[in-house]
Amino acid sequence: MPSRLNPYISFAGDAREAMEFYRSVFGGDLSLHTFGESGAQEPELATKIMHAMLETPSGYTLMGSDTPPGMDHTPGNTITVSLSGDDGDELRGYWEKLSERGTVSVPLEKQMWGDEFGACVDRFGTGWMVNITQGQG
């Protein structure tokens, strides 16, 4: 199996909701495993997500978890997920869902390099960049 690069996002207690949201955006199969399933005895931690993995029909894999008590959590400062390709309809669909109720810093529109590009932070504090490559000629 070749190596893969998978974004792994830490959440402040809302990993289940966030990962279900990402499944609604990208489709695919979502697996969720709680701290309780792994033996955590603390009631406040037992139902939180220790590991989530979303495998999408487009071949993306997105992982995430709730941040356990005592660990630092600063959303948006350490990761931005980039989506790029030439399927404009697919990428515009992702953009619409990701930017809804989020903050758009760069509207999705044609840029000086010729591609459509946009940047936003979704409602969970995760940064996203979408780049739709334009055909040559």
Q: Is residue 61 part of a domain?
A: yes
Domain check: are 13 and 62 in the same one?
A: yes
Check whether residue 18 and residue 60 sit in a common domain: yes
Per-residue pLDDT at 137: 44
Compute the distance between CA of residue 27 and CA of residue 35 in angstroms, rounded to an integer: 25
Among left, alpha and beta (phi > 0; psi -120 to 50; other), residue 27 is: left
User: Which domain range does residue 22 map to?
Assistant: 8-66
Say if 137 falls within a structural domain: no
CATH number, domain at 111?
3.10.180.10
Whether residue 17 is found in the same domain as residue 62: yes
The whole-number pLDDT of residue 6 equals 83
Domain membership flag for residue 71: no
pLDDT higher than 70, residue 133:
yes
- Model pLDDT, residue 113: 87
Q: Which amino acid would we find at residue 102?
A: G
Does 121 score more than 80 pLDDT? Answer: yes
- Which one, of 61, 63, 60, 104, lies nearest residue 85 by Cα? 60
Establish if 73 belongs to a structural domain. no
Question: Which pTM was predicted?
Answer: 0.79
Per-residue model confidence as pLDDT tens digits over 13-64: 899 999 999 999 999 999 999 999 988 888 888 999 999 999 999 999 999 9
Percentage helix, strand, coil, to 5, in the chain? 25, 35, 40
- Identify the pLDDT of residue 89: 95
Domain-embedded: residue 15: yes
The rounded distance, in Å, linking the Cα atoms of 21 and 69 is 24
State whether 101 and 56 are in the same domain. Answer: no
- Identify the pLDDT of residue 3: 62
pLDDT for the residue numbered 78: 64
Q: What is the pLDDT of residues 68-111, one digit of tens each?
A: 887 888 876 667 898 989 999 999 999 999 999 999 999 999 99
Whether 13 and 61 share a structural domain: yes
Domain boundary among 66, 88, 109: 66
Q: In this structure, what are the phi and psi dihedrals at residue 59, rounded to the nearest 5 degrees? A: 95, 5
